[in-house]
């Protein structure tokens, strides 16, 4: 029986009941397989840029006896036509790559589509890209696996293009839960380390001032 990690479980939980899913960078196709097994969806496109992961995906589908998943060799969504897709999931990649995949997609500016995005790095870059390009984060949650925290975002196209603050780019919308508080504490600690390093080595007072300003913003965020 398929058992997902906390990160993948949280990511999968953002997919709508009855969705037709495009899982980009599917690797073993664990998410489509899990969602079909649990009767959340009945149809998915499992996409990957490499043959090896698609072979892994085929093995999962065969061993779990799952129908309804089409395997597509594709860089992002380039070889994937929109057809009946309702939810696009991109997990386990860097924020810059996720942004590039959305930017290269010629059918993604659609207000009906749900995007479930789980960046492993550069979440701040991804948030800035999304808002600059008319996308909006509807909700965000954090999964913990040991010491590691993973952000999952539900995103829709809104056509409203805007710049966001550095604090919002780093943390997303403020929340009351413990995971958010932990993420905020870690971000502040990281920035203080950067500032201390600069204080020792740099004469760029303006850069140090900017970081201190951001730390103060985050402390009351
Ligand atoms: C680290 S795995 C993540 C697998 C799974 N989505 C997860 O979250 O555990 C990244 C996968 O993305 C695929 N990948 C990398 N760049 C890609 C791209 N431009 N388009 C599609 N797939 C890509 C890799 O081949 C690999 O299978």
Could you tell me the distance, in angstroms and rounded to a whole number, from the CA of residue 198 to the centre of ligand 1? 35
User: Is 49's C-beta closer than 6 angstroms to any atom of ligand 1?
Assistant: yes
Identify the pLDDT of residue 202: 73
Q: Please tell me the CATH code under which domain 6-163 is placed.
A: 3.40.50.150
C-alpha distance across the termini of the chain, in Å: 42
pTM: 0.97
Question: 2 versus 4: which is more confidently predicted?
Answer: 4
Per residue in 29-50, pLDDT (tens digit) is 999 999 999 999 999 999 999 9
Where do the domains of the chain lie? 6-163, 179-219
Instruction: Tell me if residue 93 falls in helix, strand or coil.
Output: strand
pLDDT mean over 13-28: 98
* Sheet strand arrangement including 114-119: 69-73, 43-48, 20-24, 87-93, 114-119, 148-157, 135-145
| DSSP, residue by residue, 133-152 | TTEEEEEEEEEEETTEEEEE
CA–CA distance, 77 with 73 (Å, rounded to integer) = 10
User: Is 93's C-beta closer than 6 angstroms to any atom of ligand 1?
Assistant: yes
CA–CA distance, 143 with 205 (Å, rounded to integer) = 37
Alpha helices in 76-177 (DSSP H): 95-104, 123-132, 166-171
Identify the pLDDT of residue 15: 98
Per residue in 42-92, pLDDT (tens digit) is 999 999 999 999 999 999 999 999 999 999 999 999 999 999 999 999 999
Identify the pLDDT of residue 69: 98
Whether pLDDT at 113 is above 80: yes
CA–CA distance, 162 with 177 (Å, rounded to integer) = 27
Per residue in 135-167, pLDDT (tens digit) is 999 999 999 999 999 999 999 999 999 999 999
DSSP 18: T
Could you tell me the distance, in angstroms and rounded to a whole number, from the CA of residue 103 to the centre of ligand 1? 17
Per residue in 122-131, pLDDT (tens digit) is 999 999 999 9
CA–CA distance, 131 with 157 (Å, rounded to integer) = 9
CA–CA distance, 1 with 182 (Å, rounded to integer) = 33
């Amino acid at each position: 029986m398929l058992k997902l990690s906390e990160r993948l479980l949280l990511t999968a939980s953002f997919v709508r009941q009855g969705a037709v899913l495009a899982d980009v960078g599917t690797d073993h196709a664990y998410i489509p397989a899990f969602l079909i097994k649990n009767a959340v969806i009945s149809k998915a496109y499992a996409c990957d840029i490499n043959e090896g992961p698609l072979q892994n995906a085929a093995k999962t589908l065969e061993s779990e006896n799952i129908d309804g998943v089409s395997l597509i060799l594709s860089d992002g969504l380039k070889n994937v036509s929109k057809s009946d897709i309702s939810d696009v999931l991109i997990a386990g990649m860097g924020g810059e790559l996720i942004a590039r995949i959305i930017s290269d997609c010629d059918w993604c500016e659609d207000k009906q589509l749900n995007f479930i995005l789980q960046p492993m790095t550069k979440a701040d870059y991804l948030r800035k890209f999304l808002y600059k390009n008319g996308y909006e984060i509807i909700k965000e949650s954090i999964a913990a696996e040991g010491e590691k925290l993973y952000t999952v975002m539900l995103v829709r196209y809104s056509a409203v293009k805007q710049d966001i603050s550095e604090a919002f780019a780093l943390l997303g919308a403020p929340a009351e839960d413990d995971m958010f508080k932990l993420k905020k504490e870690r971000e502040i600690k990281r920035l203080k380390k950067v500032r201390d390093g600069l204080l020792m080595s740099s004469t760029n007072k303006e850069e140090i001032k900017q970081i201190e300003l951001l730390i103060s913003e985050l402390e009351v965020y």
